[in-house]
Amino acid sequence: MTQQSGAPGLEDFRAEAAAALSAFAPRRNEDRAQWGVGDDRVSVVAERSEGEAEELAALRRYRAHLVEHDLGWVDGPAEFGGRGLPAAYAAALREVESAHDLPDDGYLRFSVSTLTPTLLAHGTPEQQQAWLPRLRSADLLACQLYSEPGAGSDLAGLSTRAVRDGNDWRLTGQKVWSSGAHYSDVGLCIARTAPDRPKHAGLTTFLVDLDSPGIEIRPIRQLTGGASFDEVFLNDVVVPDSRRIGEVDDGWSVVVTSLLNERSAIGTEVGVDEALVERLVDLARHAGDGLDERARDAVARVAARAWAARLTTARFLEDGGVPGPELALSKLIATDLFREMSDTAADLLGAGHVVDSGDWGTYAWSELTLGLPGLRVGGGTDEILKNTVGERVLNLPKDAR
């Protein structure tokens, strides 16, 4: 990507971003006096449904503010509204963002971190022009329609069918665990187009309008009480060929690009989100009778590992930001780090971890704990990711399939 002339230095850029963000939301109080103030939610995957509409509206306002200040897509191509700066500037913006109380951007994880790079790699120029600026500004919200009741880890075994009908396709099947389908405008859907070909070779991807006739979206209730993902039924849904992403029967390469980017995003976010580590440090300061040696050790270990996780992922992305199979390791590290955070919080809180006393910032940690099993499964299970690392990073013999 060509960098725009007159690019600011990194420090000037940081100052510019900090000024723009301060105009939207105040900096988090660094002396940690914020204990007891505001929302005490501790969550890494969307686990609650109440307040969703308000959160989405706030997020849209924030994204519009970023676009207005030329910060909507710092490392994106200028022809799609990006600023054409190197990836280090986008990382700098994330760092600046982590110092402010901003709307939850989990709603955009798929649109921005997964679909955007996938469209850059596989979309036609017309598709890129039509969708990329809208995805970045949160004007268009997207979800992923991959998993099915009979196809998860072995995604290529999916059954949803797409049959050509002139300039259109007709899609029929069922998707499941589709995060955010109920608030999304479009879904990246993979379907079987050549049933007679080997399973990876007969698949095609489409960006489907979720208000199309024949689509039914049903929420799935979760352990935490929320319903952040859905079942999506497709019954003879007409999708124009202009909505096809990539070549006919080559949908698998689109899926591989998107999954690599998804894992990279999960790995990157944990490293960057210092706020969660700070929350744990705050909890240690406020819980029980103060910090004993054991608690101090546990919290310090989490903080050091979070820092190391961030540097590890940054190193993986050093070569221009294209994620490879080693990003599976980033997600594995992130997941294990969240487990350690949850265990440490549970130790610090004792019964307060499972009984809601009404005390700010205590029982709230149960949401992280209850969300952990989902984190270990979504975006590739731990077992599948270990296979990826073994086979594609360490070149070990292939898993028996």
374 lines the binding site for ligand FAD (CB under 6 A): yes
The 8 Å CB, 24+ separation contacts for 18-26 are: 18/96, 18/99, 20/65, 20/66, 20/69, 20/71, 21/96, 21/97, 21/100, 21/102, 22/100, 23/65, 24/62, 24/65, 24/100, 24/102, 25/62, 25/100, 25/101, 25/102, 26/100, 26/101
CB-nearer residue toward ligand FAD: 47 or 55: 47
- The C-alpha torsion from 192 through 194 and 196 to 197, rounded to 10°, is -90
Q: How far is the CB of 164 from ligand FAD (least distance, A)?
A: 24
Are the C-beta atoms of residues 236 and 181 closer than 8 Å to each other? no
Q: Which stretch binds ligand FAD (CB under 6 A): 208-216, 325-333, 340-348, 371-379?
A: 371-379
153 lines the binding site for ligand FAD (CB under 6 A): yes
Q: How many residues bind ligand FAD (CB under 6 A)?
A: 20
13 lines the binding site for ligand FAD (CB under 6 A): no
What residues from 98 to 137 belong to the interface with ligand FAD (CB under 6 A)? none
Nearest to residue 182, comparing CAs of 135, 223, 148, 215? 215
The binder of ligand FAD chosen from 147, 160, 193, 224 (CB under 6 A):
147
The binder of ligand FAD chosen from 111, 118, 174, 179 (CB under 6 A):
179
Distance CA 44, CA 369 (A): 10
CB-nearer residue toward ligand FAD: 182 or 353: 182
267 lines the binding site for ligand FAD (CB under 6 A): no
43 lines the binding site for ligand FAD (CB under 6 A): no
DSSP string, 13-35: HHHHHHHHHHTTSPBPPTTSTTT
CB-nearer residue toward ligand FAD: 80 or 177: 177
Q: Which stretch binds ligand FAD (CB under 6 A): 9-17, 111-119, 138-146, 319-327?
A: 138-146
Residues in contact with ligand FAD by CB under 6 A are 45, 143-147, 152-153, 177-179, 229, 374, 377-378, 381, 383-384, 387, 399
